[in-house]
Structure 1
Amino acid sequence: MNPRTVRRAAVSLGIAVATLTAAVATPAYARPVHPAPPAAAGPVSTVLDGVARQVAGALADESALRRLGAAVAAGPVDLLAAPVSGRLTGELRTANERLLAAKGLPAGTGSLLRLRLAQPDLRAALARGEAPLVAATPTDDSAASVVAYDRSGGAVVLDAARVPRRPVLVVEVDGERALSAGLALMREQLGARGIGPASSTRTASAGLTASGGYWATKVDAVRLNDDKEPWIKGAAEIYTVVAGFGLDGKAKVDLVQMPYLDNDGTTYYPNQLLVHFSAYKYNLADVVMMEDDGDTNYSALVKAIANALLVIVDGGAYTPLVNAVLDAIPTSWYTDDPDFVDAWYTLSTTSSGRRYGAGGNGWMDVVPYWVSEL
């Protein structure tokens, strides 16, 4: 299950941050507060559903069923490298191109189409040739049913809350590859706009060489709450947007991947450095935890965040940046569950102990950590 609460809430694309200065008090976001638009099939879900239909139809061929069934029984499969017919291979490549465009990723990213078995305990049934259903990851976690397809192309409605006893193959986005490529794209474009990591502005004037290092915030443990997601969803792909002010007084953003945070209701002990105070003007930073739920368009995200942060004025006192980041998220993303997980305000070099997110979706145990020069 993927760690998201703030269910069926949305954030409007209202970048009303031009007047943010030290003189303006900004309330802490417990969660996005705008009502969500009605659920609708976005471009990513449309591609995945079409691929699910195509794969299900291909399984009408018994040899294709045996080959693909054996491959998926061994673990998740890259669909562009799967043992399928030449015609289907061409259709899948076209679908992958559409998927890359929908996620705002360059063509060189490679394959994002992945096929996995939803119920690991049914590997034996799949390996011995039991015909599976094929479904795409759903666009609405609150839906009571999941639509899957059989080998004849017929739709089969499954209970979203009850794990079926017939094998189900799930067509989904390769979240790890998509997130790695997406964060690389965002770092490049944020840097080009002058709001990349504060560490990129490090100069001798910061006094870092003289001090022999810098302070950071280290995450000793982290836990996200149970969100009761349906059985068809896979592991989460979590990352954090760390925002503060650089030495030049401009808002700066660092992006930190948290690949271990797969499941809610589980405590992880990463010992990961989250905030680097190597070249911040103020002894404060904000953290917004996000998830790539398959529907994230990274080009749209980086443009929205950049446009929001570029207009923030440094008025000589720290201005919280969480609200600006959340207000930048396009409302259209919330046709699926929110990509927003939780937010932590004003972490400092002295932050220590358990810090609960403003949205009540989880907590982090943090400690100060001195990063020494070599």
Structure 2
Amino acid sequence: MRIAPLLVLAIAGALVTAPAATAKTHNVSEITDSLARTISAELTDDRVRNTLVELAPLDAVDPSSLDINGRLTRPLATANADLLAAKGLPAGAARLAKIRLAHDSMVKQLRAGAAPVIAAAPNDDEATKFTGYLPGGKPLTLSTATIPVQPVVFVEVDVTTAVQLGTEVIQRYTGAPVAGRAAAGYWATQITSIRFGDVQEPWFKGDAEIFAITGGFDLNGDVRADTLTLPYLDDEDKTYYPNQLVLHWNRYKYSAADIVFMEDDGDTNYLNLAKALVAALAYILDGGAYVPLVNAILDALPTSWWTDDPDFVDACYTITRDTNATMNCAGGNGTLGVRPFWVNEL
């Protein structure tokens, strides 16, 4: 998804339990395209086709639901393992392959007996066409300019699950241990409201999956980055009121930190994203005063990452422990309301 002037942070790195290496590393598009072609071959069976219709509107359905003949078991296992590796996530952590009806308007055609087209969901917002497969595997080229007449079933990554696992990967690389507990609690910053002017996906994309990376200096004066997911942020120009804690000030030396908002379009490799982030921050030293970290992160990223994987949404600079305001983020795309919040010790 293209979220206005977005922030792209591709961080990959080795996990403590990194995915096992394979002979060839496939990207997400190759893996989902191969699986789409395999699933299309099964749809010549009326029982499989009827099951697909019964599952409509197909919102993040596990393709194993279509494995009536047992021929999808091995391809699905391979695809799920390859997707985890491609996204830099721990082996065996989840089943990431999902199928989704491309648009709600297609439910009627599917139930009326129209032949479904199975395709890999395009990862690039700027794509002008994509290849799908009719039942039996015959390829068909479709345009992204308009919603197709025939029902399209996308094979894609369960990005909600991937973001959750991915932020844990980043946290493992970039988050320093938290110091001892305060005597009676600590101050945090709470998001009271949040709104983005552009989180609109094209028709062939699912909901936005936004996560945040916070940056500051830890109690030892070293740069640290923490992560959090914002699964409720789906729609543009809509204000959300999550009351979510975003900064925990017992982790920081200075009363200031930055927040970078990003969105996973499916191809994000969190292991590489984590490595890039660590590399970008490694040379920033504590000079006795807080310095913003957003620019250093952006400047360190290869130009190839300023594409669809992942998208930069916006960044809010220098939020302090005492900030109690609704503020515009740097790119003009986000509006963030925050306030201090005292977290009591149990």
The residue type equivalent to 2:187 in the other structure is W
Q: 2:133 aligns with which of 143, 149, 166?
A: 149
Secondary structure of 2:251's match? coil
CA distance in 2, matches of 1:147, 1:337: 20
- TM-superposed deviation, 1:311: 2.1
Secondary structure of 1:108's match? coil
CA distance in 2, matches of 1:278, 1:247: 8
Q: Which runs of 5+ in 2 are unaligned?
A: 12-25
Paired residue for 2:97?
A: 113
- TM-superposed deviation, 1:88: 2.6
Paired residue for 1:5?
A: 4
Paired residue for 1:218?
A: 190
Paired residue for 1:132?
A: 116
Once the two structures are overlaid, the 10-residue window that deviates more, 69-78 or 349-358, is 69-78
1:248 and 2:231 correspond: no
**Residues 72 and 115 of structure 1 are in contact (CA less than 8 Å); yes or no, is this contact kept in structure 2?**
no
Instruction: Say if 1:228 and 1:77 are closer, same or farther in 2 by CA, change over 3 A.
Output: closer
The residue type equivalent to 1:268 in the other structure is Y
The residue type equivalent to 2:135 in the other structure is R
CA distance in 2, matches of 1:159, 1:48: 18
Paired residue for 1:64?
A: 48
1:184 and 2:131 correspond: no
RMSD over aligned Cα atoms:
2.5
Instruction: Say if 1:122 and 1:341 are closer, same or farther in 2 by CA, change over 3 A.
Output: same
CA distance in 1, matches of 2:154, 2:237: 23
1:50 and 2:49 correspond: no
The residue type equivalent to 1:319 in the other structure is V
CA distance in 2, matches of 1:3, 1:262: 13
Instruction: Say if 1:290 and 1:178 are closer, same or farther in 2 by CA, change over 3 A.
Output: same
Aligned residues: 332
Q: 1:298 aligns with which of 255, 270, 275?
A: 270
Deviations 1:331-367 (A, max 9, x none): 4444535422111110001222221121222211122
CA distance in 2, matches of 1:74, 1:137: 14
1:361 and 2:333 correspond: yes
Secondary structure of 2:250's match? coil
**Residues 12 and 328 of structure 1 are in contact (CA less than 8 Å); yes or no, is this contact kept in structure 2?**
no
- TM-superposed deviation, 1:252: 1.4
Q: Which runs of 5+ in 1 are unaligned?
A: 14-41
Once the two structures are overlaid, the 10-residue window that deviates more, 309-318 or 129-138, is 129-138
Secondary structure of 2:76's match? helix
Q: 1:230 aligns with which of 199, 202, 210?
A: 202
- TM-superposed deviation, 1:81: 4.6
CA distance in 2, matches of 1:157, 1:178: 28
**Residues 146 and 160 of structure 1 are in contact (CA less than 8 Å); yes or no, is this contact kept in structure 2?**
yes
CA distance in 2, matches of 1:87, 1:289: 41
For 1:72-87, what aligned pairs fall within 5 Å after superposition?
72-73=56-57, 75-87=59-71
For 1:15-26, what aligned pairs fall within 5 Å after superposition?
none
Once the two structures are overlaid, the 10-residue window that deviates more, 83-92 or 254-263, is 83-92
Once the two structures are overlaid, the 10-residue window that deviates more, 259-268 or 111-120, is 259-268
**Residues 80 and 93 of structure 1 are in contact (CA less than 8 Å); yes or no, is this contact kept in structure 2?**
no
**Residues 158 and 164 of structure 1 are in contact (CA less than 8 Å); yes or no, is this contact kept in structure 2?**
yes
Once the two structures are overlaid, the 10-residue window that deviates more, 138-147 or 262-271, is 138-147
Once the two structures are overlaid, the 10-residue window that deviates more, 55-64 or 156-165, is 156-165
Secondary structure of 1:98's match? helix
TM-score normalised by length of structure 1 = 0.81
CA distance in 1, matches of 2:27, 2:2: 23
Paired residue for 1:203?
A: 180
1:170 and 2:169 correspond: no
**Residues 239 and 258 of structure 1 are in contact (CA less than 8 Å); yes or no, is this contact kept in structure 2?**
yes
Secondary structure of 2:315's match? strand
Instruction: Say if 1:74 and 1:157 are closer, same or farther in 2 by CA, change over 3 A.
Output: closer
Paired residue for 1:325?
A: 297
CA distance in 2, matches of 1:136, 1:313: 44
- TM-superposed deviation, 1:102: 0.7
CA distance in 2, matches of 1:107, 1:118: 28
Instruction: Say if 1:43 and 1:332 are closer, same or farther in 2 by CA, change over 3 A.
Output: farther
Deviations 1:172-194 (A, max 9, x none): 1001111122122222233xxxx
The residue type equivalent to 2:82 in the other structure is R
Secondary structure of 1:242's match? strand
TM-score normalised by length of structure 2 = 0.87
- TM-superposed deviation, 1:368: 2.0
Secondary structure of 2:141's match? strand
CA distance in 2, matches of 1:334, 1:111: 28
